[in-house]
Amino acid sequence: MKNLKISLSIIVAICLFAIGFTGCSTQKTIDSMVIGTTMDIQSISRSDYYYNVLSGTLTHLALVRLDENNEIQPMMAEYSTADNGKTWTFVLKDGLKWDDGEKVTAEDVKFTIEYLDKMENAGRMDKLEAINIVNDQTIQLVYKTANIRALNDLTTLRIIPKHIFENVTDYAGFKDDAAAIGCGPYKFVRFDADAGVLEFEANPDYIGGKPNIKTINVKLFKNTDTMYMALKAEEIGMVYFYAGGIDPSAAADLKSSGNITLTEVQDTSNPLVLIFNNEKTPVNSLPVRQAIAKGIDYEKCRELFGSEYSIPSNYGFIPKSNEGYIDTAALKLDIDGAKKILSDAGAIDSNGDGILEINGTPLDLEILVRTDKPVYARVGELLQSNLKAIGINVILNSVDVPTFRSMTETEHTDVSMLSRFTSFGMNMGAGMSTSYLDGRLKSNAQGQIMDPAFASIVDKLKAATTMAEYDQAAKECQEYYAGSVPAIALYWDVYLQAYNSKYDNFTIDGTFGIVNQQTWYSISQK
């Protein structure tokens, strides 16, 4: 009897331990997950911008990637450099295969660079002196000049299979399933336009092993409100938008639902900027730009448009967490300071209408906004009321997307505009947002800075052969921004990413946020 009692006690103890253990455990293999997005995906063509982005998180690999600290890490290939960054050698990882079974080779990498240059005007070939294939798995990129930041550019170069694309002349129109063949941890399965669903399944042959989620469905929504309802109703597991999080105004509601976790991803982009066309009157005048910088109510801006984690920005323009960041003076509302600057510059209100004039010309500031982003119009209205207090008349000009792009990126007929600078865009070219601001560039370059002093700094950034040299030039660049105020960051923020609380262990990536190829191996379900 005693033995029976002991045996029973042991069995009960084992059972309780087992129950407790399984109760606390997390499930590593997840059958399926639905990601909701409002990214406008029309087809699986490689030229479909958002599909291309999405493929970079699931089916396609780049040579290298950015980790959560914005450090470069190997992805498809190990890398090394010689000649102070002039020659970069990449050795492809063993066992990489395309979804159709073909081996991934150095030829595919060479083909991708050349092909995309032709099809997308990617502009990489202009910087390259040669592309040498050393062997089946090794490729060398020889730049014309030392390029210490070459790897940053390669984080978004998603390698495509040569054997599929070499005969494709209609790159944009190629929407066949073969267009989705990649070599990443997931394989493309289908695009159901009626359901608005893209389906991907785990790739059993991927060199990193099988990811934790067997099937990923990406559900396309055309409006965010319904998508947030679907998240709350647990119809989808998470929401995602490339280079942007959830709408900060929806954060409190999502948080209060009880089944949603919001996580912060450090935003290395500028989520809301006022960019001056530095060649246009009246913002070609330094005192006017300085006065505008002092006339904006940044606190109100953060309160109305930023998330609860937003932080004040500074005159140096480049957000914290970016390579080479230095502290500069914080941007603050200072109406008296703004008025003094304008008064010292000779601005007077001769007709008593409340708007100042310089040399008889009223201080009218046209701000261009896009019709498809109504939030910018609201920001514009706030600036209108802020700047009226210092005697500047803001005229809001709301235009459609093509007109906006044409005016700001090619014709440069705008005076100023409200927009955002993505992290990727800010790191393009010489980095430090110079691709948005350097007036020597043919396209984009909304800031139109033609100042030789700035051009010299940009050249220093480009010529840097070590990171120490680059950081020194980056410091000069931020000091230039602080002194010259060519653009104003209205605040800095984090991305808020929302997902169902049953999921855990997401990995953060400097390019894609929490939806990235590392997440598929770390994610678990409670």
Partner 1 sequence: MSDITKKIISSILCLAAIIIINFFLPRLMPGDPVLMLTGQNEESISAAQYQSFEEKLGINYPVSIQFKNYLVNLFSGDLGYSYHYNDTVANLMKNRIPNTLQLAIPSILLASILGMFLGCTMGYTKKQRLDKSVTTAFIIINAIPSFLLAMVIVTFFAFKLRLFPLGGLNSIVVPHHAILAFGDRIKHLILPISTIVLLSLPPKYMMVRNTVKSATKEKYVLYAKARGISSFRIKFVHIFKNVCPPFITLVGLNLAFVISGSMITEIIFSINGMGELLYEAAIYRDFPTLQGCFFIISIIVILANILTDITCVMVDPKQRFGFYESN
List of residues contacting partner 1 (CB under 8 A): 34, 40, 42-43, 45, 47, 172-173, 175, 192-197, 199, 217, 219-223, 225-226, 229-230, 232-233, 235, 371-372, 400-403, 405-406, 410-411, 443
Q: How far is the CB of 378 from partner 1 (least distance, A)?
A: 18
Pairing of strands 238-239, 30-37: parallel
- 310 vs 435, beta carbon nearer partner 1: 435
Q: Output the smallest distance, CB 63 to partner 1, in A.
A: 27
Q: Provide, rounded to whole angstroms, the least separation between the CB of residue 240 and partner 1.
A: 15
Nearest distance from C-beta of residue 51 to partner 1, angstroms: 12
Least separation, in Å, of the C-beta of 191 and partner 1?
Answer: 11
Sheet strands (E) in 67-154: 72-74, 77-82, 87-92, 128-135, 138-143
- Torsion angle in degrees (nearest 10) through CA of 281, 283, 285, 291: 140
Give the Cα separation of 474 and 458 in Å (integer): 9
How many other C-beta atoms lie within 10 A of the C-beta of residue 406? 15
**Crossing angle for the helix pair 224-232 and 248-256, nearest 10 degrees?**
20
Helices assigned H by DSSP within 121-182: 150-154, 162-165
Nearer to partner 1 (CB atom), residue 22 or residue 121:
121
| Between 229 and 304, CB nearer to partner 1 | 229
Q: Which is nearer to partner 1, 37 or 434 (CB)?
A: 37
The answer to whether the Cα torsion of 468, 474, 480, 482 is positive or negative is negative
Distance CA 292, CA 335 (A): 9
Is the Cβ of residue 324 or residue 429 nearer to partner 1 in the bound state?
429
Least distance from partner 1 to the Cβ atom of residue 428, Å: 17
Long-range Cβ contacts of 302-307 (<8 Å, 24+ apart):
302/490, 302/491, 304/378, 304/382, 305/248, 305/272, 305/375, 305/378, 305/379, 305/490, 305/491, 306/248, 306/271, 306/272, 306/491, 306/493, 307/245, 307/248, 307/251, 307/493, 307/494, 307/496
CB of 289 to partner 1, least distance (A): 26
Nearer to partner 1, 173 or 354 (CB): 173
Cβ proximity to partner 1: between 88 and 221 the closer is 221
**CB nearer partner 1, residue 174 or residue 298:** 174
For residue 231, which of 262, 266, 271 has the smallest C-alpha distance?
262
DSSP 152: H
Residue 401: CB minimum distance to partner 1, A: 6
